[in-house]
Amino acid sequence: MMKLLWSYSVRNVWVRSSTNVLTVAGLALVSLVLLAVLMLGNGLNRALIESGSTDNILLLRKGATTEIASGIYRDQAHIIKTLAGIAQTSAGEPLAIPELVVLISLKKAGAESPANVVVRGTHPNTFAMRPQATLTQGHLWQRGTTEIVIGAQIAKRFLPGGFGAHLRIGKREWQVVGVFDAQGTAFDSEIWGDVDQLMAAYGRDSYSSLTVHLAHPTAFQQLDEAIGTDTRLLLQVKRERDYYREKSITMATFIRLLGLTFTGIFAFGAILGGTMTMYGAVASRTREIGMLRALGFSSAAILASFLCESLLIGALSGLLAIGGGTALQFVTLSTMNFSTFSELAFRLTLTPVSILITLAFALGISLLGGIPPALRAARLPVTSALRAPGQ
Amino acid sequence: MNQPAIEFRRVTKSYFRGNQEVPILRDFNLSIPAGRFLAVMGPSGSGKTTILNLVAGLDRPTSGTIHAAGVTVSQQRESELARWRARHIGFVFQFYNLIPVLTAAENVELPLLLSTLAKRERTTHVQAALGLVGLSDRLHHYPRQLSGGQEQRVGIARAIVSDPTILLADEPTGNLDRSAAEAVMALLTRLHLELKKTILMVTHDPRAADYAQEILHFDKGTVS
Ligand SMILES: Nc1ncnc2c1ncn2[C@@H]1O[C@H](COP(=O)(O)OP(=O)(O)O)[C@@H](O)[C@H]1O
Ligand SMILES: [Mg+2]
């Protein structure tokens, strides 16, 4: 029984394919807009939130909300390195790395106007602390030289020929000696080099921030207390992940709001489109419906079969949108990172949750659009349905 | 078992156009014994289809009672009527009303979906019904691949597949050319003679009516 009713629905959708193609295309497009918004959010989240590790804590000057605006003195950094609860490298060095973050203006390949790029003066041990980042080409900078390594997005978007290129940063010339990949996080849009050289290039005598890798997850409390009670420090302690999450909230909210507003408007159109299509189907099959009722089929069965057709259209649209989303994964976008005013590149990211949401959305829209026509079909008086003009 | 298969007792049926009452049947009485093949003739718009709809319980009389296949149709509830119809009534329509997206066999199978038969039994019944109407070689054809006469024979197969006691035929030859009409009427006659079906056929085609055992002329809501 189910099988015949199922092929009845499938073939009806198929037979009216010229009309349904438009409906499916419309709904697929709307679903794709939603999916793209979700993928945008995922990509941004990935770029920002995933930049921070839960095992790292970020120290900033009290009152500073960004690394750029923060400052940490050399003697403060020395005190921090002596605290307990900090992980150590195999060589016995504490994984507490003071960093200087500056912005430079860099011309984008193939674009007229330059964009801001984050340059992070740091220590080679930073790779031990940030497992997302791995060197993929060249070598690390030699300490005490003006060698730099660049993130994958910088390599792609700013310095396509970049290996061995020379850059002016601050008062010095720097040479690109390596490229690192940071798995789509914000670090991909950064340039890393020796912190002392960068401070000298800018004539600075203080760091921007200090990142500590915890010896074990519970060391956070201990360090937070030790830093909080030391009157020489006056620093704020944050989990690195929380820092990046806060940065992402405003941007993600903005993009979601914009995207969902669009999706909402389009969804309304898609519902109407689906409704019109199915009203058309009911109208052209009125006598058929009367016949089925005359055979003894209940109005519930009629309702179910029309809803099934709507859902079929929805499922098709959803699958198409997901196919489109798969292709969109290869798109990289860039946006202004509002916390650093630097350019942040991120990839549209497809996740199982966004796939499910898109499918549910397409099915939901088609169901909403399909309910009024299905109800009409179910409520048709049998005798007048049988008298309806032929198909 | 001397109860008539179909009985109308003092049935009145009116439609309302706006506030105006349009009477279709007035004090209409009709008694059809089981196994009878009766043709009701009348001009277009005289109420022939209305009579069939009343027998099948698709429509309700304004007053009076209608018995068919052992129940008082005019007093049954909607849901019970649907089930009763599936068991006891076979419909043959003027425009065949086959579902274009289903094959001949699938169209004929439709009424059986309302029964408890398993798939294999349903297939057997469908093949038997299509065999009876001479379309064993057209099982997997779609309606558009069939001629009008063949379509109507599929329609008849669908009407008899669940072995109902009563066949209601509404202008079954109305859309057919002469030879196809004759084939359809010969088939209905066989169903009456061999399977002992009670057949109530309405038509305005005198040639078709001639196949029936009895012809009733009907006009302006009364039998003449
Ligand atoms: N649902 C309805 N509402 C109003 N008038 C109807 C309705 N159904 C049928 N009629 C009218 O009842 C009359 C008889 O219709 P019908 O039984 O179809 O006649 P026939 O089958 O003999 O052509 C016609 O005049 C038709 O217009
Ligand atoms: Mg009629």
- 3-class DSSP state for residue A79? helix
Beta pairing partners, B67: B7, B72
Enter the tokens of residue B135.
């379309």
Which residues of chain A have a CB within 8 Å of the CB of B110?
Answer: 4, 292, 295
Cα(B163)–Cα(B170) distance, integer angstroms: 19
Cα dihedral: A68, A73, A74, A78 (round 10) = -110
The pLDDT score that the predictor gives to residue B89 is 94
Give mean pLDDT, residues B53-67.
Answer: 93
Stretches in chain A below the pLDDT threshold 50: none
User: Using an 8 Å Cβ cutoff, are B131 and B159 in contact?
Assistant: no
Kindly tell me the number of DSSP H helices and DSSP E strands found in chain B.
Answer: 7, 10
Enter the tokens of residue A87.
């992980």
User: In Å, how far are A64, A275, A351, B79, B99 from A373, measured between CA atoms?
Assistant: 59, 6, 34, 22, 19
Does residue B146 have a pLDDT over 80? yes
For tokens 């079906």, name the residue. Answer: B197
User: In Å, how far are A115, A234, A251, B217 from A242, measured between CA atoms?
Assistant: 26, 19, 15, 90
- β-strand pairing of B166-170 with B89-92: parallel
pLDDT in tens, A46-62: 777 778 888 899 989 98
Pick the CATH number of B34-57+78-223 from 3.20.20.120, 3.40.50.300, 3.40.309.10, 3.40.980.10: 3.40.50.300
Question: What DSSP line would sit under B93-136, residue for residue?
Answer: -TT----TTS-HHHHHHGGGGGS---HHHHHHHHHHHHHHTT-G
The pLDDT score that the predictor gives to residue B224 is 55
User: Using an 8 Å Cβ cutoff, are A56 and A50 in contact?
Assistant: no
pLDDT in tens, B11-42: 999 988 888 988 899 999 999 999 999 999 98
Cα(A121)–Cα(A112) distance, integer angstroms: 28
User: Maximum CA pair distance of chain A?
Assistant: 94
Cα(A362)–Cα(A314) distance, integer angstroms: 5
**CA quadruple A266, A267, A270, A271: dihedral sign:** negative
Question: Which residues of B47-197 form beta strands (DSSP E)?
Answer: 63-68, 71-72, 89-92, 166-170
Q: Given CB atoms, is A15 within the 8 Å cutoff of chain B?
A: yes
Cα dihedral: A365, A366, A371, A372 (round 10) = 90
Q: How far is the CA of B35 from the centre of ligand 2 (A)?
A: 23
Does residue B98 have a pLDDT over 80? yes
Beta pairing partners, A337: A342
User: Using an 8 Å Cβ cutoff, are A56 and A212 in contact?
Assistant: yes
Closest partner residue to B106 (CB to CB) among A4, A288, A290 is: A4
> CB burial class (10 A; 0-12, 13-18, 19+) of residue A246?
middle
Helix axes A352-379, A17-48, angle to 10 degrees: 150
Q: What size, in residues, is chain B?
A: 224
Cα(B139)–Cα(B149) distance, integer angstroms: 15
Q: Chain B residues within 8 A (CB-CB) of chain A?
A: 49, 53, 56, 58-59, 79, 82-83, 85-87, 91, 93, 95, 97, 99-102, 106, 109-111, 113-114, 158
Helix segments in chain A, DSSP class H? 2-15, 17-48, 74-81, 126-129, 152-157, 195-202, 219-229, 240-284, 286-295, 299-328, 352-379, 382-386
Does residue B127 have a pLDDT over 90? yes
The pLDDT score that the predictor gives to residue A54 is 83
- 3-class DSSP state for residue B18? coil
* Closest B-chain CA to A290: B97
Closest partner residue to A291 (CB to CB) among B93, B101, B113 is: B93
The pLDDT score that the predictor gives to residue B222 is 61
**CA quadruple B99, B104, B106, B109: dihedral sign:** positive
A359: left (phi over 0), alpha (psi -120 to 50) or beta: alpha
The pLDDT score that the predictor gives to residue A9 is 85
For tokens 């992070």, name the residue. Answer: A120
Q: Residue B58 half-sphere exposure, CB side, CA atoms within 13 Å? A: 28
Q: Which ligand is nearest to the CA of A382?
A: 1
Closest partner residue to A298 (CB to CB) among B82, B97, B102 is: B82
Q: Do A386 and B102 touch (CB under 8 A)?
A: no
Helix segments in A158-218, DSSP class H? 195-202
Cα(A51)–Cα(A186) distance, integer angstroms: 6
Buried b / exposed e across B23-35, counting CB within 10 Å, b at 16+?
ebbeebebebebe
Cα(B29)–Cα(B12) distance, integer angstroms: 9
Closest partner residue to A4 (CB to CB) among B86, B100, B113 is: B113
Say which residue, B3 or A380, is predicted with more confidence.
A380
User: Using an 8 Å Cβ cutoff, are B166 and B201 in contact?
Assistant: no
Chain A / chain B CB contacts < 8 angstroms: 66
**CA quadruple A123, A124, A130, A133: dihedral sign:** positive
Residue B11 has φ and ψ, to the nearest 5°, of -90, 130
Q: How far is the CA of B45 from the centre of ligand 1 (A)?
A: 6
The pLDDT score that the predictor gives to residue A370 is 94
Q: Return residues with CB closer than 5 A to ligand 2 (ion).
A: B 49
Question: What DSSP line would sit under A93-146, residue for residue?
Answer: -BSEEEEEEEEEEEEPTT-SSEEEEEEEEE-TTHHHH-TT-EEEEE-PPPTTS-
Which residues of chain B have a CB within 8 Å of the CB of A292?
Answer: 110
Query: Which sequence spans correspond to the domains of chain B?
Result: 34-57+78-223
Cα(A307)–Cα(A278) distance, integer angstroms: 9
Cα(A295)–Cα(B84) distance, integer angstroms: 10
Cα(A269)–Cα(A32) distance, integer angstroms: 14
Count of CB atoms situated within 10 Å of the CB of A259: 18
Helix axes A299-328, A352-379, angle to 10 degrees: 150
Q: Indicate if ligand 1 lies below 6 Å from the C-beta of B15.
A: yes
For tokens 């052209």, name the residue. Answer: A284
Q: Which ligand is nearest to the CA of B16?
A: 1
Question: Atom 3 of ligand 1 has which residue's CA nearest to it?
Answer: B15
Q: Do A295 and B114 touch (CB under 8 A)?
A: yes
The pLDDT score that the predictor gives to residue A260 is 85
